[in-house]
Amino acid sequence: MSAQPSLTYSGDVAAEPADITLVLDFLNTLDVEDDVDVLRESGTWRQWAQDRGLRAGALTAGVQARDALRAAVGDPAARQERVRTAIQIELTGAGPELTSTDAVGAVLAAAARLNVLGEWERMKICPADDCRWAFFDHSRNRSRTWCSMQVCGNREKARAWRERAAAEQAGQGAAIE
């Protein structure tokens, strides 16, 4: 459901697409629509991290970090957690470099970079109860609401129209009596 992120700018500084992708992938390890939770079992968590060249670390740390990030993005179903992790940064001739390959540390470092660049508020959770997909708002004024206007947005607009039509029908029926 998620669109591929493109390079975004906040002033003169660019947010790395890799940071956006990593954080979104992590947030979307919980797929409400298909009832899939990558962090339900340690094997799928290890595979997720390995696919990204990272070390999984403890499953409970992954769950806590995901819940905390989803809550920070605005998911009302997520538990508010406080998460701490060690992150190793090495200063080289090319500048600071994240050397920790722990998945939670890498995700939190990417989220911190997005926050510092003023891009964190673009991370959003679809408000549809049967979706809850995380997405990055690429709109100029940061006003996108739905992960997909064609799917979730359309479904919600149709639902609201049916409710208005039913209320209008009920109101006309009461007026006739």
Is residue 151 in a domain? no
Is residue 15 in a domain? yes
CATH number at residue 106: 1.10.3300.10
Q: Report the chain's terminal Cα–Cα distance, integer Å.
A: 48
**What pLDDT is recorded for position 20?**
96
Q: Which two tokens stand for residue 16?
A: 């790395």
Average pLDDT over every residue of 20-36: 95
Query: What domain range is 24 assigned to?
Result: 8-145
pLDDT for 6 beyond 50: no
Angle subtended by helix axes 59-73 and 17-27, to nearest 10 = 110
Angle subtended by helix axes 59-73 and 42-51, to nearest 10 = 70
Is residue 166 in a domain? no
**What pLDDT is recorded for position 94?**
84
Is residue 176 in a domain? no
pLDDT top residue among 17 and 155: 17
Is residue 152 in a domain? no
Average pLDDT over every residue of 60-79: 90
Residues 6+ apart with CB under 8 A from 149: none
Is residue 174 in a domain? no
- Whose CA is closest to 62, among 72, 51, 70, 73? 70
Overall domain count for the chain: 1
pLDDT digits (tens, 9 = 90+) for 110-124: 999 999 999 999 999
Is residue 65 in a domain? yes
pLDDT for 70 beyond 90: yes
Are 24 and 48 in contact by the 8 Å Cβ rule? The answer is no
Is residue 106 in a domain? yes
pTM as predicted: 0.76
